[in-house]
Chain A
Amino acid sequence: MPNGKQILKFAAILFFVFSIAFCRIAFAADTSEIKIGAIFAITGGASNLGSPEAKTGEMLVEKINKEGGVNGKKIKLIIKDSGSKPENAVSLAKQLIDEENVLAIIGPSTSGETMQIKNICQENKTILISCAAAEDIINPVASFVFKVPQSDSDAVRQIYRIMKAKAITKIGVITSNDGYGVAGGKQLANLAAENGITIAFSESYDKQETDLTGILTKVKGKDVQAVVNWSIVPAQSLVAKNMKQIGLDVPLFQSSGFGNIKYVQAGGEAANGTIFPCGRLLVAEELPNDHPQKAVLIGYKNDYESRFKEDASTFGGHTYDALLVLTEAIKKAGSTDTQKVRDALENLKGVIGIAGQFNFSPKNHSGLDMNAYEVLTVKDGKFAIYKN
């Protein structure tokens, strides 16, 4: 039987819990700022993605707030580091939803992490704008889940388009054994038949691999006409080197994950000639002056590079786009009510961002199509638009 003292203690605890809960509601009701969460892989294997994403977020929010915020409200961006681990993304998402009551979550950086929290955001009715590319994120459509990077399926279509032009029909595929690699491998397999491509070899390697001559020797034994590597890990600059070293002299196609000049530098001379689909940021200066994206791209690039003294990458561009479409949706909704913002976002049209022109619809939660990709190549250690 509980005695009086215990009951008193219990009541005190209850009071405490309730008062904390009230505090939280009071905070949530504080309408002077808009709280947005962000989960990026700032450290760990995908840090090449997360680091520029976090920096861009910081920079852009500062700029938006300096210009008076959105609908007269300042934005507060709460950035969390997932360490590139999907399991961390789960707890961080819960933290952002339950403790910070954010309107939306931007990120995570990788497809693996995003897939882990897709359902959590959907169930809790929190808008998720992912910075990862996998088709699975928005297909099947979850009403609160969006993504801003181009789809991996469109990247595959671009690769197959170039292959057709080069009369390549038999290819070898290698992927990293993480969410990104697995998803890309799946799209390559799905779209092969309709494009007349035979995949003679498809295997994955460990994402921490430090040498790929073994798996490439196996590819070489299959007499393929081209190799496709799908990964975002540092191993992708090894592919080109190891292919040249073992005398596998066929064209190398990479995924859009190759779109970071650091990988080209790490790949050195071997990286020249690599063909990959990517957003236009990397070749912004090469675009014709009347290209609708040119001004946006050059603006972001200059801002980022002058502030952080490093090359802008497409990954940072994803944060830019995510914040752009979100703020546009908030403006259009004229409110910070989650449901209203979501509806506005779903019907947002003609917004020009880093990745391309966004035209969202209830069926298309990425807002982009195949034309958001430009096919690039590496020429003398620099990115250039690929020309047949």
Chain B
Amino acid sequence: MNLPQIVQYCFAGITVGSIYAIVAIGFNIIYNATGIINFAQGEFLILGAMLAITLNHFVALPIAIALSVVITTIVGGLIEIVFIRRARNASVLSLIVITIGISILMREAMLHIWDEKVRSLAYFTGTGVSSITILGAHISPQVLWVLGVSAVIVIGLTPFFRYTLTGRAMRACADDRMAARLCGINDKWMVTLSFMISAAIGALAGCVISPVTQTQYDMGAPLAIKGFTVAIVGGLGNSMAAVVAGLMLGLVEAFTMSQFDVAYKEAVSIVILLLILVLRPSGLFGKREIAAMRSL
């Protein structure tokens, strides 16, 4: 392999890695607030993208995306109020199963509202054929958008969870719901809020990746599985780690592809997931002690 080729594989890895990362971030919000994994996260992405594509027929792209984020946020909140809140005494596992149900429901609803056809949002800069050349290799400008938006989300979320009262209250709910309630935190609304933020991030992510991945009603699940893998590998709850892990997984897949049959790349990511689960259940960047305490 010569240099441009190596750089090109890096870019291929960054392209998929950035998509994995932005999907993974959404998982972390709800996990941070409730300790559950929301398997409907992929559907939030598709819903956001579908809404933006439809709205884009009537209004300009930035407004369409903003509106779709708002609508998806409301949908996310409603889903929590209607489905999750009712099952307040359910265990974490049953709640996770409920989210799987929600994902199926949303998928079928989207099939009926839109149809089975593939759509995609316009490229934010340039078109499908434009690319930026660095060191003899090429990358689509949209990938930079995906990375940029991920960075903005992560940079915004970290202080939110660390320093704001609401953010800290959300984390408190995840740690010990009862104790948080005793401190006067309205735990119900914290969970609703976490679903809303998660849906908003999902919708934004869906819009940003739509030009690259295209959007079809049933694409949410495969995206969510990859995002989930990345969230686990990075360490659940840590958005910064999710971005790093996403890019790493993308790069590993790209270089696996360069040496072996393309079919093996999925196997490699599954092996990495298994290794992490066995050797470092807290994720690459998680602290062991915290994971140990959580499981108590």
A residues sitting closer than 8 Å to B (CB atoms) are 42-45, 47-48, 51, 177, 203-206, 208, 210-211, 213-215, 217-218, 220-221, 234, 237-238, 240-241, 244-247, 262-263, 266-270
Contact = CB atoms under 8 A, between A and B. Distances in A.
Interface string B83-109: 000000000000000000000000000
Contacts, number: 117
B258 to A, nearest CB: 6
A218 B9 CA distance: 8
Nearest to A207: B222
B223 A210 contact: yes
B268 to A, nearest CB: 12
Interface residues on B, range: 35 or more
A134 to B, nearest CB: 20
A204 B263 CA distance: 7
A269 B127 contact: yes
A246 B129 contact: no
Contacts of A266: 118-120, 214
Grouping DSSP codes into helix (H, G, I), strand (E, B) and loop, the B interface class, with mixed when no group exceeds half, is mixed
A208 B224 CA distance: 12
Contacts of B123: 268
Contacts of A220: 5, 8
Contacts of A51: 115-116
Contact of B117 (A48, A206, A247): A48
A211 B120 contact: no
Given A203-B261, A244-B129, 16 more contacts: A203-B262, A204-B262, A210-B219, A211-B16, A213-B8, A213-B11, A214-B16, A214-B257, A214-B265, A217-B8, A220-B5, A245-B140, A247-B133, A267-B128, A268-B127, A269-B129
Interface of B: 1, 5, 8-9, 11-13, 15-16, 19, 111, 115-120, 123, 127-131, 133, 137-140, 209, 212-214, 216, 218-219, 222-223, 253-254, 257-258, 261-263, 265-266
Contacts of A262: 117-118
20 contacts: A47-B117, A204-B263, A211-B212, A213-B11, A213-B16, A214-B16, A214-B254, A217-B8, A217-B9, A217-B12, A217-B254, A221-B5, A234-B118, A245-B129, A246-B12, A246-B138, A262-B117, A266-B119, A269-B128, A269-B129
Given A211-B213, A214-B12, A217-B8, A244 B258 contact: no
Contact of B8 (A42, A234, A246, A267): A246
Contacts of A43: 111, 116, 218
A221 B214 CA distance: 26
Given A204-B263, A214-B13, A268-B128, A238 B218 contact: no
A199 to B, nearest CB: 15
